[in-house]
Amino acid sequence: VTYDASGAAEFRSAVDRGAAIWNESVDGVELRPAASGRRADIRVLADNGWPRALPGPLGSGTVYIGRQAVNQGYDTVRISSHELGHILGLPDRKPGPCSSLMSGSSAGVSCTNPYPNAAEKAEVEENFSASVRASVPAVRSAAVGG
């Protein structure tokens, strides 16, 4: 899937890092920057609110890297990979420990872990393998003439 972080302002490199972390962590999906002029599956924007994701169909949607959390001290790479996790089909798991990416802000501002845990990786792999299966047309066996 492609992403466009051109609207992510000062968080652009954190978003690139978050995408790279997902690429290191799972095999079933790869996040690549969209070619210029091409519509991206994922749009990433900076704003002054709380970070959030508006997921579309699996692997698409809009992510907001909100300065409200950054100003409180939350880590920008953890925010980026957490919000991208929503786009990859993961729900919030709050409250939760720092070892969980989807525990989000509930792990506290001191938590800078940007990596999904084993269960979160497995869930993304399953989401994308299910979506590939669903998009493969059923193969009809040829009728054998009698």
Q: What is the set of active-site residues?
A: 83
| Position 92 contacts Zn ion (CB under 5 A) | yes
| Position 104 contacts Zn ion (CB under 5 A) | yes
- The length of the chain is 146
Question: In the chain, how long is the greatest CA-to-CA distance?
Answer: 74
| Position 18 contacts Zn ion (CB under 5 A) | no
Q: What are phi and psi of 141, to 5 degrees?
A: -75, 140
| Least distance to Zn ion, CB of residue 104, Å | 5
Please choose, out of 31-39, 41-49, 89-97, 131-139, the segment that lies near Zn ion by the rule CB under 5 A. Answer: 89-97
The Cα–Cα gap between 124 and 98 comes to: 19
Please choose, out of 16-24, 35-43, 90-98, 113-121, the segment that lies near Zn ion by the rule CB under 5 A. Answer: 90-98
Contact in structure between 113 and 78 (CB atoms under 8 Å): yes
| Position 47 contacts Zn ion (CB under 5 A) | no
